[in-house]
Amino acid sequence: MSLNTAPWQSDDAYEQMVGTLFNYWACWTVYAVAHLSIADHLASGNLTAAEVARREGSAPHTTLRLMRAGAAVGLLTEDANERFGSTPLLETLRSDDPRSLRPFVLSQMASWLPWDRFVASIRDGVTRSTEAFGGSPFDFLAAHPEEAERFSAAMAGVTALWGPAIAKVIDTRGVRCAVDVGGANGALLMLLQRDNLDLRGIVFDRPNIAEYAHLEVTRSGFAERTSVVGGDFFESIPQGDLLLLKFILHDWSDDECIIILKRCRQALAPAGRIAVIDSIVGPNNPRAALFDMNMLMGCTGRERTIDEFDELFGVAGLQRITVRDTGTPQSVIELTVAEAE
């Protein structure tokens, strides 16, 4: 059983509507299961809820209720002796999995405050994230190192999930230096470097994030080919002949995106390329519309149609070369400096 085949799913429209609320409760169940590290506790075998509670330091009776809910949404199995086991869905939350989605779950579900103002945002067209966080989300992360580390790990987990398919369509032949702009821990850059043993690169992110990136680059064995630079991409970007903008533009307003793209143009070596990795809104990518609601709640940005992207590129003095489908919710849009008219 999984969240998509849960017992409350139905062909009846009224039952489907009720099911959407069940899915809301299911998301919070997943969050609690991730927070209590239940996937790690069950990694070596089945346990009772009391045994999990003893290891985690949680209340046995509510841990049992949570684990029963986890079984209802396909995270756990439960036998007649009230012993719980893991499922493939739960395995995605193991902390020792290189593709672990635990940080992503924790990071996303912990950012619930702006959603309390969701309808107000729709009515007046203004995001409430600054109001909820007491500043921009990125200022909040800078002031809360633990959350920043979790967010960086969350982006790494998503990159591990979708990154191989994204990296597969990015041609690095002849590239001397690739710059992972706002690259968190450099996960995408390192995927490209695994395929191209001659590729050198730079991970560029805020100074507080660069600290974690340096540790990850060193741990992964790429330190000899990779520099880590802290800075602000609204001010300047290290030079390269391939600039990667993965999940960056959707964080920012049109005016802010234009500034970022102009900085990229200034940093681009002659005949270089920019690879924008983002969701493209359209009938063939319905998940982009849901991503867009998350962006409305999280920051000043949005998901965009290809025409909206092209408008930004043109203002920044860039032109689109191609759009490559990756088989994931994200596409790779390649740009170069626009030809003079």
**Residue 294: both structure tokens together:** 């998350």
Give the Cβ contact number of residue 188 at 10 Å: 29
Report CA-CA distances (Å) from 184 to 192, 215, 264, 296.
15, 11, 17, 21
Choice among 35, 41, 61, 250 that is catalytic: 250
Residue 105 CB contacts under 8 Å (≥ 6 apart), including other chains: 30, 31, 34, 93
Task: Determine whether 250 is an active site residue.
Answer: yes
Q: Is 98 helix (H, G, I), strand (E, B) or coil?
A: coil
Helices (H), 127-236: 129-133, 137-143, 145-168, 187-195, 207-219
Q: Over the Cα atoms of the chain, what is R_g? A: 22
* Amino acid letter, residue 210: A
Beta strands 330-337 and 226-230 are unpaired
Cα 41 to Cα 20, 35, 73, 143, distances in angstroms: 30, 12, 18, 31
Catalytic positions: 250
